[in-house]
Structure 1
Amino acid sequence: MKLSLVWLLVALLLSGLSARLLFSARKKARSEQLMSGLNRTERLRLKPKSVLHTMLLRAGVQVSAAGLSMALLLYMLVVMLAYLLQGSLTALLTAGGLLVIIRVMIAVRQRRRMAKIVKQLPAFIDHIIRSLKSGRTLPEGMDQAIAASANPLKSVFERSQRFVHRGASIEDAMDDLAGLYQIREFQLLALAVRINQKYGGNAVEVLSQLVSMIHEQDKASRQLKAMTGETRVSALVLGLLPVSLAAYVFISSPDFFLELWHDPSGKILLLFAFLFQLVGSVTLWRMLRSV
């Protein structure tokens, strides 16, 4: 009975995946037809993205509709397998644990990518300053800086560059970039670009001050990281100590864990211990992130 139910759910999921792919193909075809009929000089409206799409863009993860549907299908299969093997409580914990793990992985990738982008930004702005001093306009200087940059900064600004080439103003493209990534340096750069395009003025001086501020902020961040090294080590020890103790007990007395697992009350106790360890690790990680 359970096997037939699993096959029925798999069939329904595959049917939903097929419908999703068909809908995405038709939507993409209609979008391409619409874009081909648009005038190049028409102002491009930047539409807000969903929360998931925003997270993936910030993390630099490119997932198609088909890939997202396959990931959802795999997630449902893992949860159903946990339900068939261990019951509803295990399936619920598995579903929540997988979501937490995916969220943490995306957040870690996003933070590392943003840190690398901020580290590349001074060289990018310096290239714009040199272009402005040589007589180029600000849009031309940004195009030259984008071409000379490396990823991930290049891929970030190429998105704004595509918006400009499709008809959007450089101010709107930079505002969209600053709103998407929520990086203070991007917001200041977008403000400098908007002021220069709207009121004129000396953009070289503003950009030079922005580069100096980024260098000072990086220096302060390094000093703070050195001062909080003891706190980070303490949090690492607190996070690894329960896991290490459980591994030692399991290696030295495996029957103890097996008896707990085969006992209904012991199984619930172990599952809640795993859940509390997961929640505690995430809490410690978020506390360290705020330091």
Structure 2
Amino acid sequence: MTGPLLLSLIGLIMLGLSVRLFHQSLRKTGTERVLSRLAQGQPQPSAGKPAWTGLERAFLRAGLGRPTERLGLWLTLWALAILLGFAIAGWVGSLSLLLIPPLVLRLVVAGLYRRRLGRMIQQLPQLLDHTVRSLKSGRTLADAVMGGIEASADPLKAAMGRVQRNVQLGVNLPDAVHDLAELYEKDEFRLFALGLKVNHRYGGNASELLENLIKLIREREQGARQLSAMTGETRMTAVVLALLPVLMAAWFMLTNPHYLMSMWNDHSGRQMLIAAVCLQVSGCLALWRMLRSI
């Protein structure tokens, strides 16, 4: 009886959602669409930030756009999936669909952010080198940086588009680059912003400053690669230690499932298995924290 009621409730919710979206699409005029497009990429004030700023920041850093535009739709679909999981598998399915999607989303967004940021740092010396050559040809610092952004490739060009928009809106170049550095929270961008700010305030040879910054970024990248090569054995050992118990349990379930199921059906054996799972999760978290410190 519970299943048909939940399915009927899901159908009514989806019907109401479709009617609401259709009504919104009819009310939204062409002027509102243009204004919403012009508002994208504008510098946001620090005061009065919405509650979903952290989620929006993570999506922007990963190059996925702004999720808050359709946040209500995604939350509604997530709630429907939780109800559907409850109708199919009870509380286990409902709890699984409540916890697994946010965890998977966080891992995917974090992975995309790290990969995108690594490519941007690799492209940054080329942008700075183009800026130095433009400075030596007689262009101003702001024009040289803008030219370097135009000559760059994605994803750095797309990220630096934020700097271009802020400069076109009247923000000076050091503050625009500082805003980018605070968004991505990377030392290389912060050093770039600091160098521009020092040159803007006190003057000096900007080309020499940028050449030193190029040398510093390349030395940091070389040091990071050497550290990764030196700690490769340690990281591989941690991966093996984390996967070995899981692989052993999977092997037992494939070859002799009665062995583990007999333990699960016994009260003391069930407590041992639950304790083993808790220790495995704790050990994986400890290994992950240790690897992050390398």
2:89 — aligned with what?
A: 86
* Range with bigger deviation, 116-125 or 88-97: 88-97
Give the superposition deviation at 1:257: 6.0
> Residues 222 and 160 (structure 1 numbering): CA distance in 2 closer, same or farther, change over 3 Å?
same
Give the superposition deviation at 1:192: 1.5
1:232 — aligned with what?
A: 235
Give the superposition deviation at 1:229: 1.5
1:76 pairs with one of 74, 79, 88: 79
2:211 pairs with one of 208, 212, 215: 208
- Report SS of the residue matched to 2:12: helix
Q: Does 1:247 align with 2:250?
A: yes
CA distance in 2, matches of 1:93, 1:284: 25
Q: Does 1:58 align with 2:61?
A: yes
CA distance in 2, matches of 1:98, 1:259: 32
Q: Does 1:175 align with 2:178?
A: yes
Give the superposition deviation at 1:195: 2.3
CA distance in 1, matches of 2:120, 2:257: 47
CA distance in 2, matches of 1:55, 1:262: 44
1:118 pairs with one of 121, 144, 161: 121
Preserved CA contact (<8 Å) 1:93 1:275? no
Give the superposition deviation at 1:266: 8.8
- Residue identity opposite 1:249 in structure 2: F
CA distance in 1, matches of 2:122, 2:208: 20
Q: Which runs of 5+ in 1 are unaligned?
A: 39-43
1:99 pairs with one of 96, 99, 102: 102
TM-score by length of structure 1 reads: 0.80
Preserved CA contact (<8 Å) 2:6 2:83? no
1:219 — aligned with what?
A: 222
- Report SS of the residue matched to 1:147: helix
Count of paired positions: 284
What is the 5 A alignment of 1:2-13? 2=2, 3-12=4-13
The superposition leaves residues 105-137 of structure 1 with CA deviations (integer Å, 9 ceiling, x where unpaired) of 211221121111111111111111111111111
Preserved CA contact (<8 Å) 1:117 1:152? yes
1:41 — aligned with what?
A: none
Give the superposition deviation at 1:51: 0.3
> Residues 17 and 160 (structure 1 numbering): CA distance in 2 closer, same or farther, change over 3 Å?
farther
- Report SS of the residue matched to 1:87: helix
Q: Which runs of 5+ in 2 are unaligned?
A: none
* Range with bigger deviation, 257-266 or 218-227: 257-266
CA distance in 2, matches of 1:180, 1:205: 27
CA distance in 2, matches of 1:14, 1:282: 43
Give the superposition deviation at 1:247: 1.7
TM-score by length of structure 2 reads: 0.80
Preserved CA contact (<8 Å) 1:132 1:141? yes
2:45 — aligned with what?
A: 47
Give the superposition deviation at 1:90: 4.7
CA distance in 2, matches of 1:86, 1:267: 21
